[in-house]
Each structure stands twice: as C-alpha cells, then as structure tokens.
Amino acid sequence: MADFAKTKAGVDASEKKTLGQGLFRKCDECGDAVKKQDFERNFEVCPACGFHFHLPAERWIEILTDPGTWTALDTDLISADPLGFVDSKPYPERIEAARKATRLNDAILAGEARIDGRPIQLGVFVFRFMGGSMGSVVGEVVTRMIERGVEHRQPVVLLSCSGGARMQEGSLSLMQMAKTVAARGRLRDAGVPFISVLLNPTTGGVAASFALQGDVNIAEPGALIGFAGPRVIEDTIREKLPDGFQRAEFLLEHGMIDLISTRQDMRRNVARMVEYLAG
C-alpha cells in the first residue's frame, strides 16, 4: 500500500482531517498543517517554513533564564490617567480590561535572573497588554531596571515587542523615550553591557529610543523594526519602498543590527554576549 503524502512538516495528509478537532494548527504563513505539540516544542516556530509566531513574555523568561533564578520586580506600578483620555472607552477602563486579560499591571515584565550562572537584569515586553505600548509605567520600569544594572554592575538584557508610545498618555508617554535613553547613557558610562533583543514588532517610540541602542542588537528573523510603518512612509514620501524594508534582514544588511537569531538559538547567543561583554 502506498505511503500517504506528507505535508512540509512531515504530517500524513490523511491526518489533516483532524485539524478541526484541535490537534493541528494551520500555519498562517505557509498554510501547512502542523501538530500543535510540534509548534509548542519548537517555541512557536513553524517546523515547515520557520516562521516565528508570537511567544508570550512568560515563555521567553523560561527559555532564557536558569531555572528558579527569576525574580520579578516593580510589579505594583499602575498607570494613572492624567489626561482624562477617552477614545471608544475611558483610559482607566482600557487599562483595567488589559489587567484582567493578562493578570499583569502593565506591558512589561522586569526583574533579576541568571543566564548560564551569570546574574542579569532582564526585561521582556508584554505585547498582549495594549500592544506592548510604552506609557509612564513601562518607562519607569525600564529605567529602574537599567539603574539596577548600573548599581549592581549587572548586564541588562531587554526584549522589545511594542507598537510604540501609548497615545492615551500623550506627551507623558513620549517623555519616556528621553527618560529611558538617559538611563541607558548612564549604563554606558558605567561600562555595563546592554543587550537589546528586537522581536516582532518593535516600532514607534520604543524603536526610536532604547531598542536600537544595545551594545549588541539582536533580532528575530522577519521582525518588523522601525519608527513609522511602511504604509505611512509610502504615503508620506509617495514612493514604493524596497522589498523587505524594515524587516530584520534589511536592517542587518544596512548595519542597523548586529545579529539575527532564531528562537532556538536565542538563549545561546544572549548568554554568549553576556559572557563576552561582561568579561
């Protein structure tokens, strides 16, 4: 009897009948049917085409840190509503909905950990909290994390995944750009390493402030990295942008980042940079 045809991920084509039963996931990028457990084992990277899907911040912490070494800090900060901002709903309601959905107070997790035995200050943006947008709380948490790096002379590792500054806080959110960059400057003056990891997407005020100021800037394959989006730029300059513009591969080719790392290699690459830069 002839073997069943295989999908790109090595799944029997006949098994795809169970797709609707929740055993398989269809890759949005290549369209292949992949076993859910294979996605999970592969850190949410499609085994068929290598496309990197979003990975929650909590999972990143598990991947990067030595077991049992993570301690979250500054988790009690909550955004205020200085502008009384209302769009489709008042800002406080939007914040409260995000808090209930994520069980977090804002769009970043930061704290102390170890990677291959070396102490680090680690921060990871939480994209599911209002698109990882940076308001006063995120700016304060990033600044405190960097200041702890200066105080304890510990490398700072920051994983950015953000749509940019949080519009509901107006100019106060834009002030976080200067605040965090000033803290990063103090880290540089102290000679303490800063390793910046850019995930998909890293845009707006986050990309325009600290995210591209690492001693080493590492990006995931295909990550969208830039200030304004491609459509906004094309509408402004009235020109067609090059293929792959603002993607990690384009930035590497033009010298704006230092390394593209697959998710499977990220821990090894970050640990290597921490060891090399920290001495």
Helices (H), the chain: 36-41, 57-64, 91-102, 136-152, 170-189, 204-207, 230-237, 248-253, 263-278
- pLDDT at position 12 is 52
- pLDDT at position 202 is 97
1 burial (CB, 10 Å; 0-12 / 13-18 / 19+) is exposed
Domain chopping of the chain, boundaries: 1-53, 55-278
- For domain 55-278, the CATH class is alpha beta
Helices (H), 113-196: 136-152, 170-189
Residues of the chain with pLDDT under 50: 1-5, 14, 16, 18-19
- pLDDT at position 19 is 47
215 contacts: CB under 8 Å, gap ≥ 6: 188, 193, 194, 195, 277
Q: What is the per-residue pLDDT across 31-60, written as a single tens digit (0 to 9) for each?
A: 888 888 888 889 899 988 888 999 999 999
- pLDDT at position 162 is 97
